[in-house]
Structure 1
Amino acid sequence: MLTDNQLNGANAYGEWLRLAVHEKSLPANNRVRAAGSCFGIAQDHHHAIIVLLNARLYASCFALLRVAFEAYVRGEWLALCATDTQVQKFLEGCEPPNIDKLLDALARKDAFKEGRLSLIKSRNWKTLCGYTHTGGIHVQRWNTPDGIEANYSTAELLEVLRFAEIIVTLSVLGVLSLADDAETSEKLLERFKVRMEA
């Protein structure tokens, strides 16, 4: 279980992020609508994770990590890589390419050429899928010597929170990039640095 201070810090950071993009003026085009929606959905997943941590509904916190990561990756791909036709088809309900193809396309862009997103995926994907799809790794956290009940360590809960905060920070930076707001992006990076040291 997380402490009140840890939960209050998570709530405060989430609210700071919300206000950073609240009513932010964005260009009115399909690419921004598609990418911005994905970033917003990633931010919504982060908010849900905080609410679930507060409510001690931990299984769902873990399950949302993969979808938050995917929402962010799709947002960046739509913003930077997708053709106009792919953007339009996405808005019409078609699925984008699989995540490996999205990451490969992003790795060809200057902002992602170091391959950090692909590294995050390669190190965490099996575990993220296990949590999202109720795999053995997740079921292990529901078995104790005395019965069947949630049994997550504080370290695991903090790991969920940190991963979610990294993804939501990147997503908010994505929105700020769409808005061409470098000033708020700098403030966010400073705030994120302080948050990671907490």
Structure 2
Amino acid sequence: MSRVIDASAVEYLNWIGAAIHECDLPATSRVRAAAGCLAIAQDHHHAIVILLDHDRLASAFSLVRVAFEAYVRGEWLALCAADFEVDAFLDGVEPPRFGVLLEALERTDAFKEQVLSQMKAQSWAAMCAYTHTGGLHVQRWNTPGAIEPNYEDVELREVLSFAETIGSLAVIGVAWLAENAEAAEAVLAKLKERRAA
């Protein structure tokens, strides 16, 4: 195992995936679009765990923003998008810009506390730098004597924690699409338990 990935991270990843594995989803365009985005967010969480475990740190860091975007798009499609926007998205049309999605999403009761905007405000510049190979990311590849990974353990733990949060929220989103409140509540409780440990 790597410096931050231990058996508990892998167990948690597998547990949240299993929590919705057998959920039945309505076969509507809205659910297909939203659940597709949420499943991709989960897949990014899975990839981040694998990449951290194999010390492929640059790639792990670069996926944090795309996981966040996939989650927000999925929830926007589930809760905010008009039917024509869902259909257009499934036809390959890009949705509105990220800030517009976030603003619309946070007008819903489920997201009115604006936690996602707070996450964006705290981390967006870093997420963009890591995704687009900005100076912040390149700094982590410079040591006094070489060009090599030079990430601090605290940074690795932050990436894992963020990925687990987004992966868990994506699973909860799928559970709500499946109208499975029990699964959603179980995942939320498990995430809170993990954060408290």
RMSD over aligned Cα atoms? 1.0
Amino acid at match of 2:85: Q
CA distance in 2: counterparts of 1:78 and 1:135, whole angstroms: 30
What does residue 149 of structure 1 align with?
Answer: 148
Structure 2, gaps ≥5 residues long: none
What does residue 69 of structure 2 align with?
Answer: 70
CA distance in 1: counterparts of 2:189 and 2:69, whole angstroms: 25
Structure 1, gaps ≥5 residues long: none
8 Å CA contact retained: 1:43, 1:168: yes
Asked if residue 19 in structure 1 is aligned to residue 1 in structure 2, the reply is no
User: CA offsets, 1:79-124, max 9 Å, x none?
Assistant: 0000000000000011000010001101110011111111111221
TM-score by length of 1: 0.96
Shift of 1:23: 2.8
What does residue 2 of structure 1 align with?
Answer: 3
CA distance in 1: counterparts of 2:195 and 2:112, whole angstroms: 24
| Other structure's SS at 1:34 match | helix
CA distance in 2: counterparts of 1:186 and 1:105, whole angstroms: 24
Shift of 1:193: 1.4
User: CA offsets, 1:120-161, max 9 Å, x none?
Assistant: 112211110000000000000000011100001111100000
CA distance in 1: counterparts of 2:186 and 2:14, whole angstroms: 14
User: CA offsets, 1:40-88, max 9 Å, x none?
Assistant: 0000000000110111100101000000000000000000000000000
8 Å CA contact retained: 1:7, 1:50: no
Amino acid at match of 1:146: G
Alignment of 1:45-124 (within 5 A): 45-124=44-123
User: CA offsets, 1:11-55, max 9 Å, x none?
Assistant: 000000110111310111000000000000000000000110111
Shift of 1:187: 1.2
CA distance in 2: counterparts of 1:68 and 1:108, whole angstroms: 22
8 Å CA contact retained: 2:173, 2:184: no
Give the percent of matched residue pairs that are identical in Structure 1 and Structure 2: 56
Number of corresponding residues: 196
Amino acid at match of 1:2: R
